[in-house]
Structure 1
Amino acid sequence: MSYTSKTISETIIDYVNRNTFLPAIQREYVWNTYSIEKLFDSIMCGYPISSFLFWKIREEKKKDWVAYQFVTDFDKTDPHNEEANLSGVNQDIYLVLDGQQRLTSLLIGLKGSYSFFYYRWRKTRLYLNLFKKPTNGDNPEELTYQFQFRENDFINANDSTPQYWYLVSNILDFNTASAARKDIREKLSNISVDSSFKENAVELIEELHSRLFTEKFINIYEEKSQEYDKVVEIFIRTNTGGVKLEYSDILLSTATAKWKNLNARKEIYSFTDEINSIGNGYSFGKDFVLKGCLYLTDHLPIQYKVGNFTQSNLELIEENWTNIQTSISDSVKLINKFGFNDKNLVAKLVLLPIALYLKKVNKSNYVNSTNAEDIKNQLRIQKWVAIALLKNMFGSSTDNTLKSIQDIILNQTNSENFPCSEINQKLNVISSFSKDEIDNILRYSYGTKYSYLILSLFYPNRDWKDCRFSEDHIFPKSEFTEAKLRKRGYNSDKIKLYQTYYNTILNLQLLDETENKEKSAKPFNEWIKTRDDNFKKRHSIPIIASYDFDSFIEFINGRKKLLSNFLENLTI
């Protein structure tokens, strides 16, 4: 790995904001005045200030990416970087991947200002006290030189500790150290102060000039790859300090830079919060929404990579943003209506095909439709989601799966029905379950991430609208403690058998809130007498002679046959 070394003055005067800019993936400037003062102190001490990583963009490629100016006059009320105008830059350009904070600090200290509020708004510039002799204390955090952001210069020669605050940017007026020395000597000639302070001032001016104009503190590694995703990976790895930079942050920065009329960061954060507040709450991330932007915009690649968030692609996404929001939001509302929550929605990408379908159907208020065909189709979607999650349809090669489904939906001539069968056929997914799968499914326990999905399949004709259904133990779980089972006179083998099944799918049903509250921990043989004639059919309850507690295993065996038969013959 080879580095190019440059002086600070050369970098600041000839490169920064001339042919060297910031990429859209960079975050904003965050250093305070003390951090800048400390950087200049390190430079005066001759300490290295680490290396810099520049990304070289060939001239013919520079229009592909948005570049931003470095901040010269920093204002805490408006910290945003302005977009750079590259039309007049007829050469290769550089985008800084690592070193933004340091280069901006150098620029502010040497050519700019720093505005902040402290009791009142202050516009300050960087000064160096030339009468302060360098001191090396025991505290490594204590500065050796006295740099300070001030509102004006100040000279005090009458005190025991005189001060001469020199505006650091003035040093750039002198091409040679001798010219800088001559200038300061002339300025000090009329000041009555001990000669040691004057000599100290001359020495500091010479030292400052040497550090900025002669010594090569800027060590640049040049990345020449034109592959944006490779560059982003480098950027992420070199920016791991503080809060970890997420891949979605990079994409958001890119989108924010390239959307013309909307603030992508604000829009996507706000929309993510909106869908997460539906029902009892979800945990969708920015990456899910950004993936949806690609998936729900016509003719765009769906791979979640920075290279797909180009200027033209992002313009299409911005134009389609309202439709994207509506489609994703409706898909979340639909699955929420069926009781799918954040825990059992084990692969959130399953919603993107639903969102795409809803976008294509384009029916207003579809989620709350009372049309019989719409309701039938929604139940078909509900069943497909449950099966897709149970079959781990989105477990691997997710992009290939999503692309296959996207092709089917977009090419569908009749969009009255969600194309469950076509999707399953394309992906070689069978809607029914094998005996091994069924054995595994029926062993799932109460309250696990798959239990609600499994139970929801057993209610194919249920009206889910405006109802909340809870998992309920048919035979109350409170009766299955070892103490209570022994009190009934059961031996160890029978206790083990009862405890094997009581908390599984075989002893679970879905009840609405009213029913669940009414049932509470009532013995099942009493509760079932209060139910209507269709209760057993609705909840797949086997017909046996007695439903008392001693008949639990007979109940389990009978229900296993019913549920197994249902899953073996399940169709969409």
Structure 2
Amino acid sequence: MYQPEPHSFKFTVLLNDIEQGLIKIPQFQRDFVWSKEQSAKLMDSILKGYPIGTFILWKTKERLRSIRNIGGVNLPDTPEGDFIQYVLDGQQRMTSLYASLKGVTIKRETKDEDFSKIYVDLLASEDEDIVITDISEKEPGSYIKLTDLLNGGLSLAKKFDEKYHDKLDDYYKRIATYDFPAILIKNSSIDIATEIFTRINIGGKKLSVFEIMVAKTFDAERDFDLSEKYDELIDSLSNVDYETISDATVLQTVSVCLVKECSKKQILKLDKQQFIDIWDDVVDAIERAVDYFRGFFRIPVSNLLPYNALIVPFAYYFYHHKNKPTGKQQEYLQDYFWRAALTERFSSGLETKLAQDIKKIDMILEDKLPQYEQGIDIRPEAIIQNGWFSAGRSYVKAILCILAYQRPLSFIDNSVVNISNDWLKQANSKNYHHFFPRAYLRKKGEEEFYINHILNITIVDDFLNKNKIKAKAPAQYMKEFNKVNPMLAETMKTHLINDLEEFGVWENDYDKFFEKRAEAICEEIKKRIILQQIDRIGESASEEVASAVEMDQ
């Protein structure tokens, strides 16, 4: 049970503790945003003896990742063995006090702000602002810098008219004797400390699991900073266009490799030293999984992955199996991937399902075929029914992965189409082309569901989409490409449009095109799964699947 303990600081103790590294602001706090004017208001309240709120500090010997440069001043690390007091509530006030009392220049994105230019108006009455920032209309000698008031000593009075001496002394004593109230949270874990922080900041910033783990796993002696390590990983993955892998996915991967579960509660319970010990091996496993997605599945960029979370079970596999899978394991992994994608498995209950799937990966590692609770319907009718084109849906992304697997070529010159993460964020991406243009089909009175459908999508380059096709009928623009690309028939096979005539392209027959493309994609899906009795592939599915399962066993 944590122990809240009332406490108070004088300003000299407060500043000294900050400068000795005994008070730290954890990295999960937001940036210092208060202006010089807001800070002057705070100091005005102190001079008048008003309450400014209670600081809540977590007193611990745990070393978290913290902001070293409070107010832009490079501050020392906490001495070894000493307690640290992490600011859970009052960071803006704490930094504001430090910046004002020390006269710090705060570096902002737009311009620097000099907090030494905060003044005490010696002519102001108690019901006016005593602490000010604008002295443009003040008489010289009627005001004093706040920092000079605190640091001037006995010689200060000589610089001012005698009528101000009592005020100078009084104002100094008001600040020097002011009690800054605080509550110290002692004997508590980081989980409790961050929960307190989250509750205090309700309606404001809610801490992510990653932010908590950045704080929890920081280790200066082992040179481990999770935030920096994650950035290094993403930099590495950006070289192969997989930079959109989230910090949550990375944490889930570490957790399943350590304990085979990845709930928020479980991640927060992970042992710090074990986390650091396993990090490099997990990074290696993630990179191997990415190489496998890019190589075996031919998924060139991470935005095409049906789920970020698919990284987790595949990295778990490579954590336990350093080499590329072959034979049965390769078949079983491929089967798992397409089932997860096409059944939209991770659309809900992600953490629970990942824990279930780790057990399936363990079976695959033992050359055993997992059994699945949900069957897969790969009939052309199912593709038609489920194929409304939305770039964020895993079902649609799975089919886009199949299209990308063909390494689509440009209609105009047979060059390889460049697929980019930047182009794949939305349904109107530069890479997505409606083979029968939307404007053309709308004029024909086609329903929007069938117009904006994955079966009408091809992956093309930006130039082709904007400049050559526009709203022309397929027969018209394909005849133009036929003149300049003698390999056009072969080119179209890379888009799973296997025969321009058979697919109704030359007659602008959208119904025929739609039906034939559904069949072509259906055949591609069949190549990628291992049929089980729970699956539906056609009217005679049960006999065909039963036979296939029997042969596999």
> TM-score, with normalisation over the residues of structure 1?
0.63
Aligned-partner SS, 2:399: helix
Contact 1:21 1:96 in 2 (8 A): yes
Residue of structure 2 in register with 1:264 after alignment = 226
Residues 84 and 335 of structure 1: CA distance in aligned 2, closer, same or farther (over 3 Å): farther
CA distance in 1: counterparts of 2:89 and 2:236, whole angstroms: 34
Cα distance between partner residues in 1 of 2:259 and 2:525: 38
Report the secondary structure of 1:96's partner residue. Answer: strand
Out of 89, 93, 103, the position equivalent to 1:98 is 89
Partner residue in 1 for 2:168: 204
State the match for 1:43 in structure 2: 46
In structure 2, what is the equivalent of residue 358 of structure 1?
318
Contact persistence 2:289–2:311 (CA under 8 A):
yes
1:289 positional shift = 3.0
Match of 2:14 in 1: 12
Q: Deviations over 1:517-554 (max 9, x none)?
A: 9x966529977997369969965769969765275535
1:571 pairs, out of 526, 529, 532, with 529
1:165-244 to 2 correspondences below 5 Å? 191=158, 194-196=161-163, 200-213=164-177, 215-216=178-179, 218-221=180-183, 223=185, 226=188, 228-238=190-200
Q: Is the 8 A contact 2:262 2:351 kept in 1?
A: yes
Q: Residues of 2 paired with 1:544 and 1:33: CA distance?
A: 70
Identity of aligned residues (%): 16
Q: In structure 1, how many angstroms separate the alpha carbons of the residues matched to 2:306 and 2:460?
A: 22
Pair 1:349-2:309 in alignment: yes
After superposition, the C-alpha distances for 1:457-505 in whole angstroms (9 at most, x for unaligned) are 5899x579995487666666675352xx4xxxxxxxxx447x7645534
The aligned residue for residue 546 of structure 2 is none
Judge conservation of contact 1:44–1:207 (CA < 8 Å) in 2.
yes
CA contact (8 A) 2:120 2:143 kept: no
Q: 2:337 aligns with which of 368, 385, 391?
A: 385
Assess, with a 3 A threshold, how the Cα gap between structure 1 residues 170 and 382 changes in structure 2: closer, same or farther.
same
Is the CA contact 1:29–1:100 (under 8 Å) kept in the aligned structure 2?
no
Q: Is 1:330–2:299 an aligned residue pair?
A: no
* CA deviations over 1:19-72 (Å, ceiling 9, x no partner): 9643745559858994766543331122322222233x5xxxx45x2168998x
Matched, 1:549 2:546: no
- Classify 1:14/1:436 alpha carbon distance in 2 versus 1 (closer, same or farther; 3 Å): same
1:409 aligns with 2:373: no
CA pair 82-549 structure 1, distance change in 2 beyond 3 A: same
- Tell me the CA shift for residue 290 of structure 1: 3.4
Given the alignment of the two structures, is residue 79 of structure 1 paired with residue 53 of structure 2, yes or no? no
2: CA distance between counterparts of 1:164 and 1:439?
A: 74
TM-superposed CA distance for 1:348, in Å, is 0.8
Offset, 1:391: 0.9
The 1:409/1:319 distance shift into structure 2, 3 A limit, reads same
Q: 2:132 aligns with which of 120, 139, 142?
A: 142
RMSD (CA atoms): 5.8
Q: Distance in 2 between matches of 1:137 and 1:504?
A: 69
Residue equivalent to 1:444: 388
Indicate if the aligned counterparts of 1:328 and 1:355 stay in contact, CA closer than 8 A.
yes
Matched, 1:504 2:495: no
User: Alpha carbons of 1:318 and 1:511: their partners in 2 closer, same or farther (altered >3 Å)?
Assistant: closer
Amino acid of the structure 1 residue aligned with 2:262: I
Cα pair distance change 1:107/1:537, threshold 3 Å: closer
Call closer, same or farther: CA 1:500–1:455 in 2, change over 3 Å: same
Q: 1:338 to 1:140 in 2, by over 3 A?
A: farther
Would you say the 8 A contact 2:88–2:197 is kept in 1? Answer: yes
Query: Deviation of residue 432 (structure 1)?
Result: 4.2
What is the CA-CA distance between 1:316 and the residue it aligns to? 1.8
Kept in 1: contact 2:262–2:355 (CA 8 A): yes
Give the direction of change, closer, same or farther, for the CA distance of 1:130–1:143 in structure 2 (3 Å limit). Answer: closer
Determine the C-alpha separation between the residues in 1 that align with 2:503 and 2:354: 50
The AA in structure 1 aligned to 2:318 is: L
Write the letter of the residue equivalent to 2:89. D
Distance 1:506 1:129, change over 3 A: closer
CA contact (8 A) 1:3 1:219 kept: no
Who is 1:400 aligned against? 352
Contact 2:214 2:227 in 1 (8 A): yes
* Higher Cα radius of gyration: 1
Residues 414-433 of structure 1 correspond to what in structure 2 (within 5 A)?
A: 414=366, 421-422=369-370, 425=371, 427-433=372-378
CA contact (8 A) 1:446 1:471 kept: no
Task: Tell me, in whole angstroms, the C-alpha distance in 2 between the residues paired with 1:29 and 1:547.
Answer: 58
Code of the aligned partner of 1:353: P
For structure 1, the residue ranges without an aligned partner over 5 or more in a row are 118-123, 147-158, 172-182, 367-372, 486-494
Q: Offset at 1:349?
A: 0.8
Aligned positions of 1:464-543 closer than 5 A: 468=417, 479-482=440-443, 485=444, 495-496=445-446, 501=450, 503-507=452-456, 522-523=474-475, 531=489, 539=497
* Residue aligning to 2:398: 453
**Which residue in 2 is equivalent to 1:53?**
56
* 1:22 is the counterpart of 2:21: no
Q: What displacement does 1:326 show?
A: 3.0
Which of 252, 260, 265 aligns to 1:291? It is 252
Output the CA distance in 2 between the equivalents of 1:531 and 1:567.
Answer: 22
SS of match in other structure, 2:132? coil
One-letter amino acid of the structure 2 residue matched with residue 444 of structure 1: W
What is the total number of aligned residue pairs between the two structures?
489
Deviations 1:144-191 (A, max 9, x none): 999xxxxxxxxxxxx8659799855669xxxxxxxxxxx95x985xx5
State the alpha-carbon separation in 1 of the partners of residues 297 and 221 from structure 2. Answer: 31
Q: TM-score with structure 2 length normalisation?
A: 0.64
Q: For 1:515 and 1:404, locate their aligned partners in 2 and report how far apart those are by CA, in whole Å.
A: 44
Contact 2:402 2:524 in 1 (8 A): no
2: CA distance between counterparts of 1:437 and 1:239? 47
Say whether the 8 Å CA contact 2:47–2:171 is kept in structure 1. yes
**Could you tell me whether the CA contact under 8 Å between 1:21 and 1:70 is conserved in 2?**
no
Alpha-carbon distance in structure 1 between the residues aligned to 2:522 and 2:118: 83
Mapped partners of 1:329, 1:546: distance in 2:
38
Counterpart contact for 2:293–2:299, Cα < 8 Å:
no
Tell me the CA shift for residue 333 of structure 1: 3.8
Secondary structure of 1:54's partner?
Answer: strand
Offset at residue 251 of structure 1 (A):
2.8
Q: Go from structure 1 to structure 2 and tell me whether the alpha carbon gap of 1:506 and 1:315 turns closer, same or farther (over 3 Å shift).
A: closer
Equivalent in the alignment of 1:312: 273
Note if contact 1:472-1:510 (Cα within 8 Å) is conserved in structure 2: yes
Q: What is the CA distance between 1:260 and its match in structure 2?
A: 1.6
Q: Deviations over 1:370-404 (max 9, x none)?
A: xxx85997787566434312212112222222223
Q: Is the 8 A contact 2:89 2:197 kept in 1?
A: yes
Residues 341 and 133 (structure 1 numbering): CA distance in 2 closer, same or farther, change over 3 Å? same
In structure 1, C-alpha distance between the alignment counterparts of 2:348 and 2:150, rounded to whole Å: 58
1:97 alignment partner, SS class? strand
For 1:6, the aligned partner's letter is S
Give the distance between the partners of 2:379 and 2:501, measured in 1 at CA.
25
